[in-house]
Chains A and B, each alone.
Chain A
Amino acid sequence: MTMTAPFLSFFKKVMDQALAGRERSIAAPTVAAPLEKPSSERFSKTVTPNAVRTSSPQDPFEMAARSSALGGQMPSASAVASASSAARTISFGATRPAAACPGDLPPAVALALEPMVERVVGLELADILAQIPADYIKPIESIDRTRRILLNASEVESGMASRKPAVSLAAIYQQAPEIFLRSIVPSDQTQVQLPFEKVLEQFASVQVRRDQERHLIVPQVETPFLKVTLEDNARFGTPIQAVDTAGLPPDLPPVRIQQATAEAYAAAEPEADGNGYVQPPIENRSAMPTRIALELSPNGTGGLAPESVPASSGPSVPTSFPSTPAPMRIPFKTTAPADDLSPKHEPWLTAKSLAASATTRVAPERESKTEIKITLALKPILQGLPPPQLGGDLGSVSAEAHIELPFSLIEPQLAAGRITVTPEVFAAGLPAEYRSLFQTGEAADVILPLHEVLKNLPTASLRMREDQEEQERGANFATPFSAKAEEDAKRFNIAGTAVAKPIVTPLAAVEEAQVAVVPGTKPSDRPARNPLQVALETDEKLDDKGVVAHVNKLAGVKACALMFGDGLSLAGSLPADYETDGLCAMAPSLMQRIEKHMVETKLGALRSMTLSCVKGAVTFLMHENLCLVALHASGDLAPEVQEKLARVVHELSRKYTQPT
């Protein structure tokens, strides 16, 4: 008879399940507790706001033991990724579903999901069994002595300095619990000594991860620091690897020198790629998740966390690079300091001198040939020297003595209103016979008289900029000032207008004349002459004195003078012993009278009036209000000379009646 008791059957059922579960728990390997690392030892901490993270404990040792590539090396990223991704889930926000696989994850999340593998030291049980207390482990005969266990390298390192590496018994229990007779709690402080040589051997075989990227290695640029480093290397006898260029190609690409910004570093790295940079293998790259810049700062500083934060929470791994070639290096000069410190030609301001300096490096001999020099009278310069710089009597200096100085030194100072040269330059330009007059020991620069420089300056050097814009003059409002200005203009017999822009020959024309004949230069390349220059066949800027000087050079003309119709003299070179002042003052009015009478004749307009005298002849030419007096050298003036003089008077008259 079978009694049916529902409660009893239920009790049996529960008991069977409980027994079955207990058997399964005994058969299954003990799940080791994760290694808890003090927060102070952690190098990195990822903070993801608004994220709910659920993460099951991950045992790195168990994971590494599953890998076939043991021996202290890091497991491959692909292997550990598959093992780790399933155990860890991160969800952002309340509605976002958890990511399922790395491929679907956002890059930043995938980066955060990278395996956090500890550095480990692998040892065989045979190496440590002798150090474990005998009452803790099973008989040695029953233990597989070749079984390798992985120990936390950071724990072992602490004893390496005293040559006594040790590991806790609990750590060994976590790796090989089957050899123990009883369980070891994690808090057990029993230490097990490890063989120093074996551990050292393991550390020596440790390698960096293969997918590592070189960071901040840029081509070497010659800097003061590099120079001192090399000097120190030579002084201390350390190997000079930084300047070993033996293995480099002879022609290195130029290096861009720019500010050391993050962009500059990023821009510099591709240059080095082709010259020995180690790149991660392509397959590894494809396996790695795409990284994006994570805009979160671990410390809230706003800066990006560098990617070089070690994956390990322990101390950084000593880097060894046995197989990588040396990074590209830039050869640098190791010349004597005297060569570097020698004075260099400074380009200063002008485009011309800049161009000259640019050609200096290419063809210095060529530049020395084409260098423009300015010749100055020596005496005025020496007279202006301060007494300490003067070393003798100036009476011995001839008025004809000159000094030649490089125009490139003077031209940049023209706009400053003060022109100086260094004592060395001045001494170098001095004629040999006058060098004793100048004391070079004084540090003060030699001031060149401005008027002396301007007098001997090529007119083209005072060129105005071509892109100048005229100031807006505005309308003519009738003001008390404008009325007074007109009154003054009449009173002073001036136009009362602003100074016109000087017409200056471009410097190129002067260089052309002074340096050499440039083949292929056409006459049309020269600047246009004004009518007065055309009449006198010169390119020089002509003022009254210049006109007189040019007229005096004409054939048959001994001297000349220019004057207004009222007898006011403009300029002249008539010899004083002729005492022609009165005649010249009277001549214009005389010619005006004669001209009135010429209308009544059929001889045409009066062109000139010549007074032929016993001791010489004088010709007067007049146009409107301007009169030119030419003293004959001998005989009459040639018709072409007279024609030229007539044109000069005509153009001068136009100049003074229509001032610009």
Chain B
Amino acid sequence: MSIINYASREIQFKIVYYGPALCGKTTNLGYIHERINPENRGDLVSLATAADRTLFFDFLPLNAVVIKGFVTKFQLYTVPGQVIYNATRQLVLRSVDGMVFVTDSQWEKMEENVESFRNLEDNLAKQNLSIDEIPYVLQYNKRDLENIAPVNYLEYVLNNRKRRVQSFEVISSTGQNVFASLNAVSQILLHKFSKQSDAPKTAPAPVAIPVEPPVIQKQSATI
């Protein structure tokens, strides 16, 4: 659920990059951090091991546009993809607004992709959420490699649900379609927020205002 600060007129969206280990989630954030204007972003916080494996999560705050008088801010997170860090993934998924599911297009990673997607569903279910309720897009990453599955198979495996989401062929190492996928999910979130703010609000219940008795002004004597 997006965090709305009415006092400072800010709204924060949390976007989580989810996917199997070594699929390129941190590379996505690194590219975004590299390309985005420093005025619009904060520092990329990354807790990684010596082997550059994400230990906890990556975090990148981004400022976007002003909609309906609210400054929109995006907080990009990644989760550790390794199976043993499921508790961390559950923690990062809390209050998620949108997701980018990053898949590794290599043939030998297909099973891990499916497992990671199921893990995402399970972790959302533990928060009483369904993946069908949360905006997300699919990234078919590493499309520059040779040993990759065709897109139609990836679509069949990961995007054959009732609601067909947007999917992108991505090469995160070069940045191809990295912003396209981020833009897609951010547009959905902004549109959702815009619709919510446009929704007619119910009229407030009438409140009885006590009527004070008229005060009889005494004519003060002027000296």
Contact = CB atoms under 8 A, between A and B. Distances in A.
Interface string A466-499: 0111111111111111101101110010101111
Nearest to B112: A417
B136 to A, nearest CB: 9
Interface string B50-61: 000000000000
B110 A464 contact: no
B165 A471 contact: yes
Interface string B174-210: 1111111011101110111010000000000000000
A498 B140 CA distance: 11
Contacts of B108: 450
Nearest to B190: A477
Nearest to A469: B163
A520 interface: no
Nearest to A470: B164
A247 B37 CA distance: 90
Interface stretch (B2-10, B79-87, B150-158): B150-158
Contact of A494 (B40, B149, B177): B177
Contacts of A501: 155, 164
Contacts of A415: 114, 156-157, 160
A451 interface: yes
A548 to B, nearest CB: 17
Determine which residue in A451, A470, A489 has the highest number of CB atoms from chain B within 10 A of its CB, and name it: A451
Contacts of A497: 180
Determine which residue in A414, A415, A467, A482 has the highest number of CB atoms from chain B within 10 A of its CB, and name it: A482
A502 interface: yes
Nearest to B188: A474
B35 interface: yes
A488 B166 CA distance: 18
Contacts of A475: 187, 190-191, 194
A499 B103 CA distance: 14
B111 A480 contact: no
A465 interface: yes
Nearest to B67: A477
Nearest to B178: A488
Contacts of B167: 498-499
B169 A499 contact: yes
B36 interface: yes
A175 B164 CA distance: 90
Given A414-B156, A492-B174, A468 B111 contact: no
Contacts of A467: 162
Contacts of A463: 156
Contacts of A484: 35-36, 179, 183
Nearest to A465: B160
Given A414-B156, A467-B162, A473-B166, A496 B180 contact: yes
B160 A488 contact: no
A462 interface: yes
A485 B166 CA distance: 15
A625 to B, nearest CB: 20
A467 B160 CA distance: 10
B88 interface: no
A479 B186 contact: yes
Contact of A472 (B36, B64, B151, B188): B188
B110 A499 contact: no
A417 B163 contact: no
Contact of B114 (A416, A469, A479, A496): A416
A78 to B, nearest CB: 64
Contacts of B107: 449-451
A414 to B, nearest CB: 7
Interface in A69-89: none
Overall SS of chain A's interface: loop
A418 interface: yes
B65 interface: yes
A118 to B, nearest CB: 63
Contacts of A482: 179, 183, 186-187
A471 B80 CA distance: 27
A223 B159 CA distance: 43
Interface string A158-192: 00000000000000000000000000000000000
A208 interface: no
Contacts of A481: 32, 36, 62, 64, 179, 182-183, 186
Contacts of A498: 137, 166-168, 180, 184
Contacts of A470: 163-164
A502 B151 contact: yes
A504 interface: yes
B188 A473 contact: yes
A492 B111 CA distance: 30
B149 A477 contact: no
Contacts of B175: 488, 492
A490 B3 CA distance: 34
A488 B194 CA distance: 27
A196 B183 CA distance: 100
Given A415-B160, A473-B187, A479 B65 contact: yes
Contacts of A476: 187
A443 to B, nearest CB: 20
A454 interface: yes
A475 B195 CA distance: 10
A254 B178 CA distance: 61
A494 B176 contact: yes
A480 B110 contact: no
Nearest to B175: A488
Contacts of B78: none
B176 A499 contact: no
A464 B179 contact: no
Determine which residue in A451, A462, A479 has the highest number of CB atoms from chain B within 10 A of its CB, and name it: A479
B12 interface: no
A469 B164 contact: yes
Contacts of B162: 465, 467-469
Nearest to A467: B162
A434 to B, nearest CB: 24
A468 B163 contact: yes
Interface in A389-443: 414-418
A489 to B, nearest CB: 7
Nearest to B64: A479
A474 B190 contact: yes
Given A472-B191, A478-B65, A450 B155 contact: no
Contacts of B110: 417-418, 450
Contact of A474 (B35, B149, B180, B191): B191
Interface in B62-80: 62-65, 67
B113 interface: yes
A459 B64 CA distance: 42
B127 interface: no
Contacts of B176: 488, 492, 494
Given A415-B114, A450-B149, A465-B162, A477 B155 contact: no
Given A417-B112, A469-B164, 18 more contacts: A415-B156, A415-B157, A416-B157, A465-B161, A471-B165, A475-B194, A476-B187, A477-B64, A477-B194, A479-B65, A480-B40, A480-B63, A481-B36, A485-B182, A487-B179, A494-B176, A496-B180, A498-B137
Interface of B: 32, 35-37, 40, 62-65, 67, 107-108, 110-115, 135, 137, 140, 147, 149-153, 155-157, 159-169, 174-180, 182-184, 186-188, 190-192, 194
Interface of A: 414-418, 449-451, 454, 459, 462-465, 467-482, 484-485, 487-489, 492, 494, 496-499, 501-502, 504, 541
19 contacts: A415-B157, A450-B149, A463-B156, A468-B163, A468-B164, A471-B165, A471-B166, A475-B190, A477-B190, A477-B194, A479-B64, A479-B65, A479-B186, A480-B63, A481-B62, A489-B180, A499-B166, A499-B168, A501-B155
Ranked 10 nearest A-B pairs via Cβ: A474-B191, A417-B110, A498-B166, A502-B152, A485-B179, A417-B111, A481-B183, A417-B114, A418-B111, A484-B179
